[in-house]
Amino acid sequence: MNAHSKIDFSPAVSLRGVVRQFGDNRVIDRLDLDIAPGEFVALLGASGSGKTTLLRSLAGLDPIEGGELSAPQARAAVFQEPRLMPWKRAWKNVTLGLRVANPRARAVQALTEVGLAHRLEAFPATLSGGESQRVALARSLVREPKLLLLDEPFAALDALTRIRMHRLIIDLWQKHTPAVLLVTHDVDEAILLADRIIVLQHGRIAEALQVDLSRPRDNGQAGFNAIRTRLLALLGVEKDDPESLARDHNPFIAPGYPLSAIAI
């Protein structure tokens, strides 16, 4: 190594004492958090714990009332709804707002990466749910973000499509190496995807767990169930809870999701 070269150990994301509130309701409460370049972090917590509020602040969509927040300028977000423009073809949705010399070529490359090279000219109404989310993912990656924010992007997909999307997001993350923050209600999803899992409670970090499992992962892997049990306990789901037992046989049922809403 050159004696004059320097290694940058700066985090991709840094929060110090961050506060976000709505009226008297403090949703994010003096939060400290670092995310390293290229790290995949999942964010778990009950509804109202501040997960999406934190993601929106990192995306630059919502202001903070206190503290310091540092995030890359090159950032992109994928939400639960694909948010495609229905009057634009798939490739034009990918390059929406992108200012480059040959946008179509960039769209072809991005859609090829997500397995949709054959759907360049398709309108959103003709795409399946999984295809729509892949277009949304291509739209984010075409901007070459240093920070990719994922707000429950797989929640509305069927189980098999979700598995395929998990594999795709890991492949793309490993290829492009952005820092990733995934907001999810699904404990298994967090363990399958993340390097580190953060549990939020009342706008603060209740616990941060490192996931030291080899990739590719599956829920039968040694060590998987121990992490899952710890996370469920942090989320207030006990092993003797009937809903917890049902979820043991269906990893696609998220904690907090009512079993009565699922056709068995």
DSSP string for residues in the chain: --TT-------SEEEEEEEEEETTEEEEEEEEEEE-TT-EEEEE--TTSSHHHHHHHHTTSS--SEEEEE--SSEEEE-SS----TTS-HHHHHTTT---S-HHHHHHHHHHHTT-GGGTT--GGGS-HHHHHHHHHHHHHTT--SEEEEESTTTTS-HHHHHHHHHHHHHHHHHH--EEEEE-S-HHHHHHH-SEEEEEETTEEEEEEE----SS--TTSTTHHHHHHHHHHHTT--TT-HHHHHHHT-TTSPTT--GGGS--
Whether 143 is in a domain gets the answer yes
User: Is pLDDT of 244 > 60?
Assistant: no
Q: Report the CATH number that the domain containing residue 169 is assigned in CATH.
A: 3.40.50.300
pLDDT, one tens digit per residue, over 142-164 is: 999 999 999 999 998 999 999 99
Structural domain harbouring 105: 72-148+162-180
Higher local confidence (pLDDT), 89 or 242: 89
Residue 248 lies inside a defined structural domain of this protein = no
Predicted confidence at residue 9, as pLDDT, reads 57
Q: Is residue 236 part of a domain?
A: no
Domain annotation covers residue 63: no
* Counted domains in the chain: 1
Model confidence at 248, in pLDDT bands (50, 70, 90)? very low
Chain segment 192-239, per-residue pLDDT in tens: 999 999 999 999 999 999 999 999 999 899 999 999 999 999 998 865
Is 37 within a domain? no
For residue 156, being part of any structural domain is answered with no
Report if residue 114 sits inside a domain: yes
In this model, does residue 1 exceed pLDDT 80? no
